[in-house]
Structure 1
Amino acid sequence: MVPQYAPSLRSRLPVVALLLETIFILFFAFYMEVPYIFPIVFYAEFQDVHVMVFMGFGFLSTFLVRNGFSSAGFSLLVAAMAVQWAIVFQTLLQLPYPGRITMESLVFAEMSAFSSLISMGVVIGKTNPVQLLLMSLMEVTGFILNKWLIQTLLKKPCFNLYFTWLVHWTIDTDGIEPRHEKEKSDRKMTLFSLFGKDFLWIFWPSFNSLIVHLLNNDMDLAVPLNVICSTYLAMAVSAVTAIAISVLFNPRGKINMLHVQNCILAGGVAVGGSMSTFPQPWVAMAVGLSAGIMSTLGHQYIKLLMEVVFKCHDTCSILSVHGIPAILGWFVQLFLQFANSDSTTFAVRFAVYHIVILLITLASSLTMGVITGIILKWRFWRPPQDRKCFDDQACWKFPHLAKHK
């Protein structure tokens, strides 16, 4: 007998999606224009990030054995919507150019989608597509507002952290069990997930190089080779370290594939979090080593601690993959600035400036997270029940399970 799954989303998803698309089309028709010719010097890097967003993240969350359709399909849905909303909203804030689509606006839209997909990894399998769309809109809104606020006050952009943990904590403090019976993987689905992780790993130097352009507000700026080299070496070291630590902390001395597919990016995230021009390659490699250790141990122990103590279930271990290495990168940047500064006064001012940026980013992320969680908690969106989580049959058609009358 076919199990009974979630009610049809026909009255929710088509209305939300088509209404948003109609609004976007009208906005583009009356307010946006594309220059006939504009520089596309960095189209290669944009293309790399495009592959990361739509292919890397598309396969990344497919490790769940009964949630592969939802992981891949909803990633495409969220990314496609986030890119459009990012272009519209940054234009409304006159970022970077009012009414014109430029290479910088396209790149920043991809970065915004990247942020949404990272956040999606925390709640994938426990939310329906309508909730994911709304969360992506709120995430992109907070992402761009945070950038605008820091550019306005401190003349330097920064990026959101720890958004979705507050979303999850708000909507799910007493709902889903920490260890769901359907939250399992198998060999085939894990290989699909590793395929997506490999795409992210390969193209991450391009991602960090584009961050340098956005931080300097100059898409014509030549990226220092040291940035690409530092990212590459840090990621290489973190990949080796993640495998080694996985063996070391396994009771039977075996490699945990979850550690491989979740922690090999830690070095690139840490270097991107610091965005410093490392004085020597060994410094970036040391950062990659530290990030690999912290990320793997975080996946091994902190994920369970978050579930038990804070009732915050992190499906894709986003805290270990992105949160911890990003904070490590923040401390690395602060330390390098102190080490390379000849003036104590300048170093102290930089430290204060750096701490203010972090506090503003954390405050905006946590505030938007709570607001988004309250919105998504409404029963109107028909959130999935516990027994219907991590299962494609709640939203996808399976011909071999269809009832024949």
Structure 2
Amino acid sequence: MALLEIPVFGATEWAVVKYLKINDAGGSILIHIFACYFGLGVTFVLYRPSLNEGHPKETTSYQSDLLSVMGTLFLWVFWPSFNSALTFKGDDQHRAVLHTFIGLSASTITAFALSSMLSKNGKISMADVQNVTLAGGVTVGASVDMMISPAAAYVLGILGCIACMLGYKYLSPFLAHRLRLQDQCGIHNLHGLTGLISSLAGICAILLASEETYGPSLYQTFSHRAPPEGDPLLAELQEFIPDLEAGLGRTAREQALFQVAAVCGTIAVAAVGGLLTGVVLKLPYLASPSDENCFDDELFFNVPPDYNYASSPQDVWSYVLRDANKTDADWCNKKTEHEQEE
């Protein structure tokens, strides 16, 4: 799948950047939305009805939850650098880091609250902590370097968290049973829905952007709104910003329309590319695993002897205690043997 996805992604990114020339510093459109709908296209073709009722091995363990939370922490800490990597150094980059931290903080707080509220026993779900806490980083992505207020970034984080949480609880089962879309990892919730919210927020921020708010830096943040070559206004702006390059002279409305075209085009290309990739993956000579072998690493990897033993938190702790008891017993036996020799 990766061999087919990467060329499609590269072609899509090239076309969008070269011809539509959009603002998408955090990759909400070109990364999150594309990857989401490409994956959904694949899973539509590879639909397995028997998996809708669950699978014995579709479970987590204490170890897997612990490792997943560690991964979440790494993503949380480094997400601001990801969102700000392609922005202009200076104010734009500072705004990107600040907005990302605010969005992530909002989604994290909301995730813990919603997780316990939506749980039948009122307890927090580790699956929510691992996924929904990151929603804010995606929802601020398209507008992360723009002059949105901290309050707007906070609201975007909350909206992304709510959409992601409700998607996991209600939308994913609906997609699986009604639309043949088995989204096993909830990609549509964490990347698709939040990517769409982010794109909408970016369009609104573009429409509200003006020279009164940004000053001459407007034409750096929105480089395609800069005056074209030969325009006297360009020479005036270059007195304030010497490295300012000529743009296309777009208005805010025109730039917003190009953003809409990029979202629609990305979804269409990703979905079609995913469908065609699914058709290739379904070819008989590729030997897809049976339903019984799904969610089983042993089919493709060498696994340790305790692979099937440590499958639940109780099993993991029993395994740890068993080793501890064995170690203590061995130490006692060695001590007794040593005393007898003396």
TM-score by shorter chain over 0.5: yes
| 2:302 match | 397
| 1:187 match | 62
Change (3 A) 1:398 1:148: closer
| 1:330 match | 199
| 2:101 match | 232
Could you say what secondary structure the match of 1:274 adopts? coil
Change (3 A) 1:399 1:301: closer
| 2:16 match | 150
> How far 1:212 moved relative to its partner?
3.0
1:197 and 2:72 correspond: yes
- The one-letter code sitting in structure 2 at the alignment partner of 1:203 is F
- The one-letter code sitting in structure 1 at the alignment partner of 2:3 is L
| 1:137 match | 3
| 2:251 match | 346
- 1:197-248 Cα shifts (integer Å, max 9, x gaps): 11111100111112436xxxxxx78852011000011101101101111111
| 1:78 match | none
> How far 1:311 moved relative to its partner?
2.4
Q: Distance in 1 between matches of 2:204 and 2:149?
A: 14
> How far 1:341 moved relative to its partner?
4.4
- 1:241-267 Cα shifts (integer Å, max 9, x gaps): 011111111122111111111101100
> How far 1:293 moved relative to its partner?
1.3
Q: Distance in 2 between matches of 1:399 and 1:267?
A: 37
Change (3 A) 1:221 1:145: farther
Change (3 A) 1:353 1:203: same
Change (3 A) 1:142 1:222: farther
> How far 1:350 moved relative to its partner?
2.6
Could you say what secondary structure the match of 2:142 adopts? helix
TM superposition outliers: structure 1 runs of 4+ over 6 Å: none
| 1:63 match | none
Could you say what secondary structure the match of 2:87 adopts? helix
1:287 and 2:162 correspond: no
- The one-letter code sitting in structure 2 at the alignment partner of 1:382 is A
Alignment RMSD, CA only? Answer: 2.4
TM-score for both structures, normalised by structure 1: 0.60
Percent identical: 29
Is the contact between residue 170 and residue 374 of structure 1 (CA under 8 Å) also seen in structure 2? Answer: yes
Is the contact between residue 334 and residue 351 of structure 1 (CA under 8 Å) also seen in structure 2? Answer: yes
- The one-letter code sitting in structure 1 at the alignment partner of 2:152 is V
Could you say what secondary structure the match of 1:265 adopts? helix
Is the contact between residue 178 and residue 311 of structure 1 (CA under 8 Å) also seen in structure 2? Answer: no
| 2:83 match | 208
Is the contact between residue 230 and residue 281 of structure 1 (CA under 8 Å) also seen in structure 2? Answer: yes
| 2:240 match | none
Q: Which structure's CA Rg is the greater one?
A: 2
| 1:303 match | 172
| 2:311 match | none
TM-score for both structures, normalised by structure 2: 0.70
Aligned pairs for 1:172-183 (under 5 A) are: 172-174=47-49, 176-183=51-58
| 1:355 match | 260
Could you say what secondary structure the match of 2:43 adopts? helix
- The one-letter code sitting in structure 1 at the alignment partner of 2:142 is G
Is the contact between residue 132 and residue 165 of structure 2 (CA under 8 Å) also seen in structure 1? Answer: yes
- 1:34-58 Cα shifts (integer Å, max 9, x gaps): xxxxxxxxxxxxxxxxxxxxxxxxx
Could you say what secondary structure the match of 2:288 adopts? coil
Is the contact between residue 230 and residue 278 of structure 1 (CA under 8 Å) also seen in structure 2? Answer: no
> How far 1:188 moved relative to its partner?
2.1
Q: Distance in 2 between matches of 1:221 and 1:364?
A: 35
Q: Unpaired segments of 5 or more residues in structure 2? A: 213-249, 307-342
| 2:269 match | 364
Is the contact between residue 103 and residue 136 of structure 2 (CA under 8 Å) also seen in structure 1? Answer: yes
Change (3 A) 1:400 1:238: closer
Is the contact between residue 273 and residue 325 of structure 1 (CA under 8 Å) also seen in structure 2? Answer: no
Could you say what secondary structure the match of 2:165 adopts? helix
> How far 1:346 moved relative to its partner?
3.1
1:169 and 2:44 correspond: yes
Is the contact between residue 276 and residue 333 of structure 1 (CA under 8 Å) also seen in structure 2? Answer: no
Q: Distance in 2 between matches of 1:306 and 1:259?
A: 19
Change (3 A) 1:335 1:223: closer
